[in-house]
Structure 1
Amino acid sequence: MRNTLKAATLESRFPLLAVEQGCIISKDADITIAFEVKLPELFTVTTEEYEAMHSVWNKAIKVLPDYSIVHKQDWYIKENYKTEKPQQDLSFLSSSFERHFNERPYLNHTCYLFLTKTTKERSKQQSTFSTLGRGFIVPKEIKNKETVLRFVEAVNQFEQIVNDSDFIKLRRLTADQITGTEAHEGIVEKYFSLSHGQNNVLKDLTLNPGELKIGDNSLILHTLSDLDDLPAKVSTESRYEKLSTDRSSCLLSYAAPIGLLLPCNHIYNQYIFIDDHTTNLARFEKMARNMLSLSRYSRANQINKQWLDEYLNEAHSKGLVSVRMHCNVLAWSDRSEELRQIKNDVGSQIALMECKPRYNTVDVPTLYWAGIPGNAADFPSEESFYTFTEQALCFFTGETNYQSSLSPVGIKMVDRLTGKPLHLDISDLPVKKGIITNRNKFILGPSGSGKSFFTNHMVRQYYEQGTHVLLVDTGNSYKGLCDLIHYKTRGEDGVYFTYTEDNPIAFNPFYTDDGVFDIEKRESIKTLILTLWKSEDEAPTRSEEVALSNAVNLYIGKLKLDGKVAPSFNTFFEFVRDEYTELLQSKKVREKDFDVANFLNVLEPYYRGGEYDYLLNSDKQMDLLNKRFIVFELDNIKDHKVLFPIVTIIVMEAFINKMRRLKGIRKMILVEEAWKAIAKEGMAEYIKYLFKTVRKFFGEAIVVTQEVDDIIASEIVKESIINNSDCKILLDQRKYMNKFASIQELLGLTEKEKSQILSINLANHPQHHYKEVWIGLGGVQSAVYATEVSLEEYYTYTTEETEKLELTRLTEQLDGNIELAIKQLAASKRKS
């Protein structure tokens, strides 16, 4: 049957008149001030913090005058992830990451708050008086200017009270953000198109009995408008069972099931109507007397009398404010099958709140019309119920999506709920905000927890952002990434030092590109030679230190004067044996002050023809100062009493040289399990020095470990590393569940942080392959994120022996083109 009803234009029924001085003016002379609300991130709020947020809302609402309306409108829109940078500006791995996540759907949350001042008469209007049903709306005049000024002043106080809190932030919307411009849509236009995207097109509104359609989208509405549908008790928060354990609780706000946990396009409207409190109570007193007089005729009247008395007693004894409340969930879809599923999902999520789902078909147009930003005064009063402010505020959602950092520096992580990539700054922005005082990081995770993947992912992105990265490893965890960098830079970067019988590790500590030997360089050479000369328990005398210092300084002077002398340990040895020995004899330096023969005898194994003559005489003439990605693989020598101390000194010298000389450039040293061996070989002072000093030179020191007993037992770690690492990163700790109390005490973790850590990997998405990681900043800010990577990144980072061998063989077949090998491996994996 054809619809014969007349079509009306939106202009003829539009309830808003204008936006003046940032205020929305309706044609019925109601005034609305609009805000965008920033809420805390999901899974980061404790019981105490939810209660504090509840208290802030309560205090703020108390300053509003009678016949005000608080309308909180939460938008949850399904969107697809798109990269912000052009593909040509991205590296091979970054481009692979973006392609992996391209078009991934996620639920985007935006929260608005509308504060409306209306009149006593308007607050009593029912749905029959809605502006939607009027043929023509005659604009009314605002009669009392003082009322308007008092309301604006109250809203300013409301805004200040909320913004003074640590959890919620309000930002007042401008006229352009409300009405829109030629380039950007305003919130009113977005509401009529049910979209938060750009270039929205206004669609036809179809109003049929029990049906509302906007374009092709059909709307369904569930309401909470009757006390009979609500539970006997509500609270500020609820326990999220999927991420909770018997030792910890993951908390969300009471209304979270119909917020971010409802995975469909929907708007969640929350209304609080502030009437005259005294008039309300007088009305209830009268109703109670009527119920008392009628109680002999009906037991229901007797029970209603008791409920009214209880309500009045609560109001008078506790000073509670009587208000009206209404909530509704407006969801939509353009497909009938999906719409049926959404209807079931909304109903089940409302049931999780212990509320009775009420599917509303009759009042959909009227309630949708009242949800227009600035039109809350058009709300039909019969759809609201009486309660107190404290209980009404429990229906406010209290969290939002994970948010990306507004910073050019950071790493890409993934939202654990929706799988959307996030840009996370865990270095610079927290320092600027005063959350942390240093950029050092401590990473703890057992074997198989995804520790190597996370650290590879992190250092790769820091490297791509211009950081000088030096890695000390004992398990070939970074070989793939280093080889890729080496290939991409055509050998200019990506230096990998490791020890094999065929190609032993070799350095030249006397070589510099620019010929500059500053104090740090000279001191590192002296420390190295002292380590070669003296045993660990044998301290040099003062005269020996002076003699050695003179020898080094004179040798460096000779290098500068005589360009034919090749800097190496061989020429240094010869200089001491010949020229410096003659100088000592001419000065008549006694043997007990400096035994040059003993000195040369001990160092002879490192001289030409000696057992370790390769170690300090590398002919590659490589200066590590300007190499941005260096890996020292120490697995084969970590137990070697001669090689290991020398190599560690050179490692530390290389980084300290970078730290001192590279002004304004970010530096990072990451020490994997090798720190245990370093600590045993008298290198503790280096570690202490690094962690206390590196922050002054725009650097960060990172230690990675997997054994919990190591961090508990080592005083060096406790005193130097943990106390000077404001960023702590933990992976799945379920293997250490019985030891976690000691970890919590050692790292100074709060109960909130403990609950977050114990929730890691408890409810991972079955279709996405990732491991979760907890990142805590200074005990102030913390959250759990997912480390999900593309297949190209996976094959670059993998530590599985079979996959590494497969990549190596394919790289050799492709004449060393590791990038092409990674691409082919990833492509074959996708096909299988």
Structure 2
Amino acid sequence: MQVKTRDIKDLFPIGAVQDDLIFSKWGDITVCFEVILPEIYTLNVQWDGEGDNRVEMGEYRELVESWSKAIGVLPPHTIVHKQDWFVEEKYQPKVTVNAFLDKTSERHFNERPYLNHRCFLFLTKTHPERRSVSAEAITLARTRLVSKEVADAKKLDDFLNAVEQCKAILESTRLLRLQRLTTNDIVSTATSQGLLERYYSLSLQEEVVTLADIERDDCLRIGGKFAKFYTISDVDDMPDWVLTHNRVDAYSSENSTVSVCFAAPVGLMLPCNHIYNQYVFKDDKHVSTPELEQRATQMRSLASFGKANEVNAMLINEYLTEASQYGWTPIHAHFNVQVWTEDKSKLPVLRNLVSSAIAKMGARPRENSLDAMALFWAGIPGNAADLPKEDRYWTFTPQAVCLFNQETNDETSLATSGIKLTERLSGKPINVDFSDEPMRKGWITNRNKFIIGPSGSGKSFFTNHAVRSYHAQDSHIVIVDVGHSYSSLCEMLGGKYLTYDPANPISFNPFVIEGRAQPDIEKKEALKTLLQTLWKRPEEQQTRTEDTALAAAIDGYYQYLAQHEDIFPGFDSFYEYLQDGFVRYLDEHKVREKHFDLENFMYVLRSFYKGGEYDYLLNSRTNLDLLHDRLVIFELDNIKDHPILFPVVTIIIMDVFIAKMRKLMGIRKIILIEEAWKAIMKDEMAEYIRYLYKTVRKFFGEAWIVTQEVDDIIGNKIVKDSIINNADTKILLDQRKYQNKFGVVQELLALTKKEKDLCLSLNRDNDPGRLYKEVFVSWGGQHSKVYGVEVSREEYYAFTTEQREKLKVQQKVQQQREAGADINYELAIKEIVAEERGL
């Protein structure tokens, strides 16, 4: 049997693309936009009032109202065609990474499937004559190429002005961004494929491809792809009520509700290749309303011939009453889902997926095979007017807009800084900039971070991952730890790990200054605080005279060093200076013993001088300069309760970080205090924390506090307000064990209701096929998201704080040591992972 074929040029409805406008052969003019939608799970739902008087507020309602207003400013005979593409793609690894862990991460995510989503908006100005035109007619048979209305320059200007108003209204919400498509975006160039050609090939790829043949059989075949259409095109198929949003039961609980837009089941939550077409036909109400009234009259007059006529008349009158009561303009609407696959045998599976998705919206799904070609043709950008009239139904704009897809997938940051996390829906890896991009967008005013997660929530694992990421981006990091959470990572990154061991006790030398320079104000204050801590107990008060005398002792000592370059700076030489030069200073200035007890001062400090109990602590000749070490970890577990060592070491830590903060210009500096309460319970540390949180922002620095309990922070009056008020980025891990008392956490951290709901949704519906945990991030209450923390097995062994896994790595390293080989943590981890995989 001979197959009848026709050249697509004879049927192609687009006449020209010029001046960034699409001109159809029937005189329709279309303006094209790409719409950047809000990320899924970021919109909130709010209610005002109680009981039956509750009124929905929030961002979903705001979007629906904005779309309704935007459509309202468009002139009659305008078609709004919103086209959302959801195309299955696979993650392609970066080929530019060099670091061992980066390579393993890229291999781990290689070819992970996900839905690539893009949203386009086509605003088409047509004309009254258009509805009598047949799609099969020959254009040149008409008396005019375009209608008189469209050819009117003033009406065209009015339409374009209305389009700009529509765009301004939508963007005024700050939830949407519209980018005008140019001619080069719409039609192909020599190097890239245009939107029209992409539609004809059902592909979002930019490379130029040859257009495929289109065949119509039991399904629509476009090249090697088999397509089906499922429509929502009859008012009888609609639910009694349409909403602005839907509750996601898998992420919600009795105390929390996570929502998505009403059309999400046919959007990102439909896991297959598909296009969701949304049409709104804005007619002239001065014409459509009388037509409806006339139809109601006709139905009423035919009531004696059938009860259905009377019912239809009543429904039309109710519809017109609603329009009059609320000032709504009658419109036509149509929605369809076009799915496709290269394997025809999968079409029944797709049918079940789409049917259940539409049913989740409360609508009745219909597979439309007869009009498949017409529906495909109407989906061509700029050709919405060709949608068959019998596939449209009467409704109002707000109700139609509720069926718009309002959300997109998570956006990956293009910044060079950031942490690799995963999307919640698909597990696609994305780059999340926690620091700089939120500052540029105005979400936060400082880069400080507060990280909270109960034991076992993955808190230390996440911070290891974050530290490794920031270290790879050339940041300087100082960590205060009390649980050896970063020992393996430190070894792998070649950092400096300082811990107290009786056989090899921790030692410093705060008196050494690079280049034997004179101390600046910060350094003087740090040394003065150190001497005060060595001399006085916390409950003892420091007098003004004592403070002045200590400052003079420090000045005199560095003048003494400048005159004697052969003397090594350290506490020993400082103590010797006190015995001579400082005594003369006190005599010359007639400082009496009751104002400064020199004998007591020298006696107390004697234990830090050579031969004393702590003579090792402040006379180091090895840890002289920590300024240029990019990763320095102070492990305080063994001295956290020591009355002398702990306060001294904390002061030195602060001195190290302040030196980095002041001297390393243009370099990111981070101080991370793990299990913060162990440190900040001491007043000496608390004062520094308060100072840091208020000033670190000015020096391109960040202060991170990591803890298990919020009470650990708020129990310290000095630190409470400084940390909570000056840490704009709040990061929470699994909080489900606190869901019945989360209100306290919400109040203390000033979380919104939406943020509380997202926190309580963590890890509620994780993909069993992947090993990961979720993390919640809030940037100043302005933007909040949930991400997955998923890493390769190699990264897992580098970041884990589980003793059993850490021991595996240590055993491999010990084997290297016993074999006389160089210590190589990367090789040790490679061997462990290879053994796990049976290689």
TM range, smaller chain: over 0.9
Q: Report the CA distance between 1:587 and its aligned residue.
A: 5.8
Query: Which residue, out of 811, 816, 832, partners 1:825?
Result: 832
Superposition pairs for residues 256-267 of structure 1, below 5 Å? 256-267=264-275
1:78 is aligned to 2:88: yes
Q: Give the match for residue 285 of structure 2.
A: 277
**Amino acid paired to 2:567:** V
C-alpha change, 1:80 and 1:383, in structure 2 (3 Å) is same
Q: Report the CA distance between 1:718 and its aligned residue.
A: 2.6
Q: Is the 8 A contact 1:203 1:214 kept in 2?
A: no
Superposition pairs for residues 332-731 of structure 1, below 5 Å? 332-486=340-494, 494-516=495-517, 517-585=519-587, 589-731=591-733
Q: Give the match for residue 155 of structure 2.
A: 147
Q: Report the CA distance between 1:712 and its aligned residue.
A: 4.3
1:50 is aligned to 2:60: yes
C-alpha change, 1:71 and 1:137, in structure 2 (3 Å) is farther
**Amino acid paired to 2:175:** F
Counterpart CA distance in 2 for 1:186 and 1:140 is 26
Counterpart CA distance in 2 for 1:150 and 1:318 is 26
Deviations 1:139-161 (Å, cap 9, x if unpaired)? 82353323222211211211111
Q: Give the match for residue 135 of structure 2.
A: 130
Q: Is the 8 A contact 1:269 1:371 kept in 2?
A: yes
C-alpha change, 1:284 and 1:554, in structure 2 (3 Å) is same
Q: Report the CA distance between 1:105 and its aligned residue.
A: 0.8
Q: Is the 8 A contact 1:648 1:678 kept in 2?
A: no
Q: Report the CA distance between 1:514 and its aligned residue.
A: 2.5
Partner of 1:372, secondary structure, is coil
Q: Is the 8 A contact 1:15 1:137 kept in 2?
A: no
Partner of 2:158, secondary structure, is helix
Query: Which residue, out of 746, 749, 764, partners 1:747?
Result: 749
Query: Which residue, out of 73, 94, 97, partners 1:63?
Result: 73
Q: Is the 8 A contact 2:676 2:712 kept in 1?
A: no
Q: Report the CA distance between 1:74 and its aligned residue.
A: 0.1
Q: Give the match for residue 489 of structure 1.
A: none
C-alpha change, 1:587 and 1:65, in structure 2 (3 Å) is closer
Partner of 1:510, secondary structure, is coil
Q: Is the 8 A contact 1:409 1:465 kept in 2?
A: yes
Counterpart CA distance in 2 for 1:821 and 1:601 is 51
Q: Is the 8 A contact 1:277 1:322 kept in 2?
A: yes
Q: Give the match for residue 808 of structure 2.
A: 806
1:791 is aligned to 2:798: no
1:310 is aligned to 2:318: yes
1:34 is aligned to 2:41: no
Deviations 1:709-752 (Å, cap 9, x if unpaired)? 32443323431100111111111111112221111111111111
Deviations 1:114-156 (Å, cap 9, x if unpaired)? 000111122355xxx224x769887823533232222112112
- Higher deviation after alignment, 538-547 or 781-790: 538-547
C-alpha change, 1:223 and 1:69, in structure 2 (3 Å) is same
Q: Report the CA distance between 1:588 and its aligned residue.
A: 5.4
Counterpart CA distance in 2 for 1:327 and 1:453 is 45
Q: Report the CA distance between 1:326 and its aligned residue.
A: 0.6
Partner of 1:514, secondary structure, is helix
Counterpart CA distance in 2 for 1:61 and 1:198 is 31
1:776 is aligned to 2:778: yes
C-alpha change, 1:773 and 1:124, in structure 2 (3 Å) is farther
Counterpart CA distance in 1 for 2:612 and 2:828 is 41
Counterpart CA distance in 1 for 2:599 and 2:167 is 81
Counterpart CA distance in 1 for 2:714 and 2:743 is 11
> Percent identity between the aligned chains?
49
Q: Report the CA distance between 1:278 and its aligned residue.
A: 2.4
Q: Is the 8 A contact 1:807 1:822 kept in 2?
A: yes
Q: Report the CA distance between 1:23 and its aligned residue.
A: 0.6
Q: Is the 8 A contact 1:162 1:168 kept in 2?
A: yes
- Higher deviation after alignment, 670-679 or 424-433: 670-679
C-alpha change, 1:249 and 1:678, in structure 2 (3 Å) is closer
Q: Report the CA distance between 1:467 and its aligned residue.
A: 1.2
**Amino acid paired to 2:455:** S
TM-score by length of 1: 0.95
Q: Report the CA distance between 1:100 and its aligned residue.
A: 1.2
Q: Report the CA distance between 1:663 and its aligned residue.
A: 1.7
Q: Report the CA distance between 1:211 and its aligned residue.
A: 2.3
Any unmatched runs of 5+ in structure 2? 46-57, 818-822
Deviations 1:609-655 (Å, cap 9, x if unpaired)? 21111111112143111111111111111011111000000011111
Q: Give the match for residue 199 of structure 1.
A: 207
- Higher deviation after alignment, 336-345 or 743-752: 336-345
Q: Is the 8 A contact 1:231 1:355 kept in 2?
A: yes
Q: Report the CA distance between 1:501 and its aligned residue.
A: 1.7
Q: Is the 8 A contact 2:193 2:209 kept in 1?
A: no
Counterpart CA distance in 1 for 2:717 and 2:633 is 27
**Amino acid paired to 1:181:** T
**Amino acid paired to 1:691:** Y
Partner of 2:269, secondary structure, is coil
Q: Is the 8 A contact 1:237 1:254 kept in 2?
A: yes
**Amino acid paired to 1:82:** Q
C-alpha change, 1:506 and 1:124, in structure 2 (3 Å) is farther
Counterpart CA distance in 2 for 1:600 and 1:104 is 67
Partner of 2:67, secondary structure, is helix
Counterpart CA distance in 2 for 1:589 and 1:722 is 44
Q: Give the match for residue 15 of structure 1.
A: 13
C-alpha change, 1:724 and 1:331, in structure 2 (3 Å) is same
Q: Report the CA distance between 1:595 and its aligned residue.
A: 3.1
Partner of 1:249, secondary structure, is coil
Q: Report the CA distance between 1:196 and its aligned residue.
A: 0.8
Query: Which residue, out of 764, 771, 775, partners 2:766?
Result: 764
C-alpha change, 1:299 and 1:583, in structure 2 (3 Å) is closer
Aligned residues: 817
Q: Give the match for residue 54 of structure 2.
A: none
Q: Give the match for residue 208 of structure 1.
A: 216
Q: Is the 8 A contact 2:197 2:211 kept in 1?
A: no
Counterpart CA distance in 2 for 1:468 and 1:561 is 34
Q: Give the match for residue 490 of structure 1.
A: none
TM-score by length of 2: 0.95
Q: CA RMSD in A?
A: 1.8
